[in-house]
């Protein structure tokens, strides 16, 4: 069975104060860019559009993302009294109860150390997996472990990360026996990351970086990797140091719109 891993990584930094050129950029209270919508388009499809995500805020806090596709789904973000994210609930238009839930666990530093994942595999939400995170002294994730909790507990994948200047320059994937499968290498531009600190993109650590990846290259150690491109490149259009369009060489593009003052 081939491992199919296509990295479509869109990442940029938000931890930079806005200068005069960036006065139109709206930031939330946790420092993320305030989004309006993201459209994912495939030039090979009949309609030319795959899906759209609509971002809804309560003042400057993300509360809901509507995912419009053949079956519409919605993610709801639940916070505690200190404005810390506790849960992410996913529902669809055909179901009354949530179809999945992510519960977050923090350490004393306020870092997320575990995501407990539930789904409605049966008639109710049940735990099926968890993701554990390890950090370096600078608060950057250096390792995450995905463990399946359904039926038999088993470590499924392990990924380790190397950082430079706020960006992941290398990630390494291991299997449950700690055998190295793939090394991934990344190059970046110097623009802002519209995904950073946004709860919707929480689970993908490659979205936590400071800038936009413009190139990813895989070094396959398993002999099973099957990619549409290697290296893969991304081409950006920008406005106020933020991407408005991202194009990929396989005729796929993403359109990003931002909330305005």
Q: pLDDT tens digits for 191-228? A: 999 999 999 999 999 999 999 999 999 999 999 899 98
Q: Which residue has the higher pLDDT, 256 or 27?
A: 256
| C-alpha to C-alpha distance for 103 and 147, rounded to whole angstroms | 15
pLDDT at 45: 53
| C-alpha to C-alpha distance for 201 and 62, rounded to whole angstroms | 12
pLDDT at 59: 83
| C-alpha to C-alpha distance for 168 and 187, rounded to whole angstroms | 9
Q: Are 233 and 226 in contact (CB under 8 A)?
A: no
Percent of the chain surpassing pLDDT 90: 62
The three-state secondary structure class of 39 is strand
| C-alpha to C-alpha distance for 29 and 162, rounded to whole angstroms | 28
List phi, psi (to 5°) of 20. Answer: -60, -35
pLDDT at 17 over 50: no
Q: pLDDT tens digits for 52-86? A: 999 999 988 999 999 988 778 999 999 999 889 99
pLDDT at 5: 37
Give the residue carrying structure tokens 């419009």.
68
pLDDT at 12: 29
Q: Are 67 and 74 in contact (CB under 8 A)?
A: yes
Tokens of 72: 């519409």
| C-alpha to C-alpha distance for 218 and 7, rounded to whole angstroms | 10
pLDDT at 260 over 50: yes
| C-alpha to C-alpha distance for 205 and 136, rounded to whole angstroms | 14
Q: Which residues pair with 116 in a beta bridge?
A: 103, 130
| C-alpha to C-alpha distance for 127 and 124, rounded to whole angstroms | 10
| C-alpha to C-alpha distance for 100 and 127, rounded to whole angstroms | 9
Q: pLDDT tens digits for 108-123? A: 999 999 999 999 876 7
Q: What domains can you pick out in the chain, each with its CATH number? A: 20-258 (2.40.160.190)
Mean pLDDT value of segment 100-104:
96
Tokens of 137: 């002294």
Mean pLDDT value of segment 17-31:
59
pLDDT band at 47 (very low <50, low <70, confident <90, very high): low
The three-state secondary structure class of 45 is coil
Half-sphere exposure of 230 (CA within 13 A, CB side): 15
Mean pLDDT value of segment 175-188:
95
Q: Are 197 and 207 in contact (CB under 8 A)?
A: no
In order of 71, 93, 126, 130, the CA distances from 123 in angstroms are 20, 17, 9, 20
């Amino acid at each position: 069975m081939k491992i199919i891993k296509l990295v479509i990584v869109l990442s940029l930094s938000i931890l930079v104060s806005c200068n005069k050129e960036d006065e139109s950029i709206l930031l939330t209270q946790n420092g993320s860019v305030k989004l309006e919508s993201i459209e994912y388009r495939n030039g090979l499809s009949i309609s030319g559009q795959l899906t759209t995500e609509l971002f809804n805020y309560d003042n400057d806090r993300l509360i809901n993302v509507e995912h419009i596709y053949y079956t519409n789904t919605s993610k709801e973000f639940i916070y505690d009294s200190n404005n810390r994210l506790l849960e992410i609930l996913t529902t669809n238009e055909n179901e009354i109860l949530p179809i999945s839930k992510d519960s977050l666990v923090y350490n004393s530093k306020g870092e997320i150390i575990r995501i407990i994942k539930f789904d409605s595999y049966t008639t109710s939400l049940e735990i099926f997996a968890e993701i554990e995170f390890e950090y370096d002294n600078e608060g950057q994730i250096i390792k995450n472990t995905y463990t399946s909790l359904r039926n038999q507990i088993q470590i499924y994948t392990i990924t380790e990360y190397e950082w430079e200047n706020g960006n992941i320059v290398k990630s390494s994937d291991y299997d449950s026996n700690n055998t190295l499968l793939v090394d991934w290498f990344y190059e970046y531009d110097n623009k802002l990351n519209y995904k950073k600190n946004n709860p919707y993109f929480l689970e993908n650590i490659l979205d936590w970086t400071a800038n936009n990846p413009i190139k990813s290259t895989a070094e396959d150690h398993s002999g099973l990797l099957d990619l549409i491109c290697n290296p893969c490149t991304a081409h950006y259009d920008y406005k106020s140091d933020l991407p408005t369009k991202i194009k990929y060489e396989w005729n796929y593009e993403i359109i990003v719109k931002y909330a305005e003052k």
